[in-house]
Structure formats: structure tokens, C-alpha cells
Amino acid sequence: MAALPASVDATLGLLAKGHYVAERSLATSTFLSLKLKRPLFLEGEAGVGKTEIAKVLADTLGRKLVRLQCYEGLDVASAVYEWNYSRQMIEIRLAEAGGTVDRDQLGADIFDKRFLIERPILKALEPDIAGAPVLLIDELDRADEPFEAYLLEVLSDYQVTIPELGTIKAAEPPIVVITSNRTREIHDALKRRCFYHWVNYPDAKRELEILRLKVPGADARLSREVVLFVQNLRKMDLFKLPGIAETIDWTQALTQLDAIALDPDTINDTVGALLKYQDDIAKVRGSQAAQLLEQVKSEIAASSPA
């Protein structure tokens, strides 16, 4: 288990160790959330590195990652705990077959921890030899509001009450990272308990740095062209702009094709790695792509005079 970072710079370093290139403001929110033991709440467009930060924190701090993927209809039985009914039934049958059944005793026996199925939130409250786990509550905007209200309670006291068993409280609060794609607003009451950070698309310098780490085999000139192309593409009015994940995918695809520079045909053939909606692809493919590429080449020429 690694020690928690002692400063914003140390947090930047920790994330970099996990190949995560963070903005200083994100490292500051992360540092404060670790230091003050409050959840980190990340909102932002798709593919900008919200989920990744929880994975990297778990990895670099040597903690267990407990992931709760949210969806519509997510309930306590899937998120917190559930009694194992079939095992409880077998226990009852065995007791009956054994003869003398003391109803009170049996009632207490079948609500023992042995018959409890722990779901992510309960698991995250359990002590772990590696230290408190990282609890990733991913895409909270997909869950329903009643679940969000329940979560508010859990995150206030880091405890869960199971009527038949009592209250289970974490000895050490987990490191909580909550993400949202903002398909709906999350209540202020929950946000107030967290450190909030809006994860932006990276600037060209940071995106190039990410490419160097994530696709080390890519040609340097190609990476530079890809980043500038994507940065210009993000200024267009598209239904779904490409995230960092798409930039990485595209560079990997181009590298597989042994490309060392962008050209209009290659862009047209591989644009599916970058854009995932037919309307967006139709808009970009052809003359628009050629025009963007011209712009990229002139930006490169302007920044590095021969």
C-alpha cells in the first residue's frame, strides 16, 4: 500500500505513474478529496478520463477497486446487499430434517453474515489489508433518484443498516470516485458532500503527452497531426465530439496501418475510429476532412519553421 500524496504536485506525480496526464485543477480536487476523505465527483463528456482516474488511483495506491456501474432500476439488492434465499432455504430444510427445530434460534441463524451476498457498496465498507478500497460509482446519472437519495445516506456516514443484522460501519472510509455523463443533473445535496470537477477535453499539449504514453509505438509526426486534427474537429458542430479514448483508438488504428502521416484517403477510411454517428461521419468525410488536414499542416508549418 502506497501512502496518500502529500501535495498537489505529489498527486500529479502519482497519477503520472499510472499513465494518467491530469490538469493541475483535477490533481488539486483529487488531492483534496484524498486528504479530506470526501468523494471526488467527476462530470464531463464521454471518453475524457473520468472512469480511468479511479482505476489509476486504485492501481497506484495499491488499493482494491470496487466498481458499481449504475443503470436505470439499480436497487439496494444489486448495489448494497441481498440475502441468499436459496441457501437460507437449504439451511431451514436441513434443520427440519435434523428434527428439533427451535424457531427463534433458526430465525437468528439464517440471518447470519454467512447468508449475506455483499454487493459493491457493502464490499467497499469492509476493511481490507491493503487499506480502504477505491469505490467507483460509475455513471450515477443513469441510476434513479431514489437510489441517489440512498447513496447520500451512505456517503454521509459510510455505514449501511441491514434490519436483520444491524449497522455496518466502515472502520476507514473508502476512497470514493463518482462519475456522471450529465444526462440528468445530480442533486445539490449529493454534490455538496463531494469535491466537484468538470473534466474538460485536453489541450493539444496534454493530448499529445497522453498519446506518447498510451500509444508509444506511434510515429511522432503522425501523433502531432492526429492531435491537431482532433482538436480542430472538436470545434465543429457535431452530434458527438471525439474524446481522448477516440484519439487513442484512432492513433492505434493508423499505426496498425503503418501510417506515418495523415492523408485524405486514410482519414476517410479510418474516421470510424473517431466518430460513431453516421451524420457526423458524413459531415466530416471528404472535403471537410481535406480542409481540416490543410489547416493542421499549416499549423504545424507555422509552429516549426524549417
Ligand X SMILES: Nc1ncnc2c1ncn2[C@@H]1O[C@H](COP(=O)(O)OP(=O)(O)OP(=O)(O)O)[C@@H](O)[C@H]1O
**Where does 101-144 have alpha helices with state H?**
103-110, 120-125
CA dist., res. 187 & res. 148, Å (int): 8
* Nearer to ligand X among residue 18 and residue 264 (C-beta): 18
- Which residue stretch of 49-57, 89-97, 247-255, 282-290 sits at the interface with Mg ion (rule: CB under 5 A)? 49-57
**For residue 241, which of 253, 254, 230 has the smallest C-alpha distance?**
230
Report the residue from 4, 8, 65, 245 that binds ligand X according to the rule CB under 6 A.
Answer: 245
Site map 265..294 versus ligand X, x via CB under 6 A = ------------------------------
Site map 20..59 versus ligand X, x via CB under 6 A = xxx---------------------x-xxxxxxx-------
**Residues in 110-139 at the binding interface with Mg ion, rule: CB under 5 A:** none
C-alpha cell at 154: 451512505
- CA 240 to mean position of chain CA atoms: 19
Q: Given the DSSP bridges, would you call strands 159-162 and 134-138 parallel, antiparallel or unpaired?
A: unpaired
Q: Is 47 left (phi over 0), alpha (psi -120 to 50) or beta?
A: left
Distance of closest approach, residue 227 Cβ to ligand X, in angstroms = 13
Q: Which does 248 bind (CB under 5 to 8 A by kind): Mg ion, ligand X, none?
A: ligand X
Q: Given the DSSP bridges, would you call strands 166-169 and 159-162 parallel, antiparallel or unpaired?
A: antiparallel
CA dist., res. 74 & res. 147, Å (int): 7
CA dist., res. 270 & res. 296, Å (int): 17
Is 242 a binder of ligand X (CB under 6 A)?
no
Tell me the number of residues near ligand X by CB under 6 A.
19
Local structure of residue 3 (DSSP, 8 states): P
CA distance readout (Å), 54 to 42, 135, 167, 169 = 10, 8, 27, 22
Q: Which does 63 bind (CB under 5 to 8 A by kind): ligand X, Mg ion, none?
A: none
* Nearer to ligand X among residue 247 and residue 292 (C-beta): 247
Among all residues, whose Cβ is closest to Mg ion? 51
Site map 192..221 versus ligand X, x via CB under 6 A = ------------------x---x-------
* Nearer to ligand X among residue 116 and residue 247 (C-beta): 247
CA dist., res. 123 & res. 158, Å (int): 12
Report the residue from 51, 60, 180, 247 that binds Mg ion according to the rule CB under 5 A.
Answer: 51
Distance of closest approach, residue 246 Cβ to ligand X, in angstroms = 9
Q: Which does 48 bind (CB under 5 to 8 A by kind): Mg ion, ligand X, none?
A: ligand X
List, in order, residues 6 or more apart from 234 with CB less than 8 Å away. 201, 241, 242
**Residues in 105-164 at the binding interface with ligand X, rule: CB under 6 A:** none
The footprint of ligand X (CB under 6 A) covers: 19-22, 44, 46-52, 179, 181, 210, 214, 244-245, 248
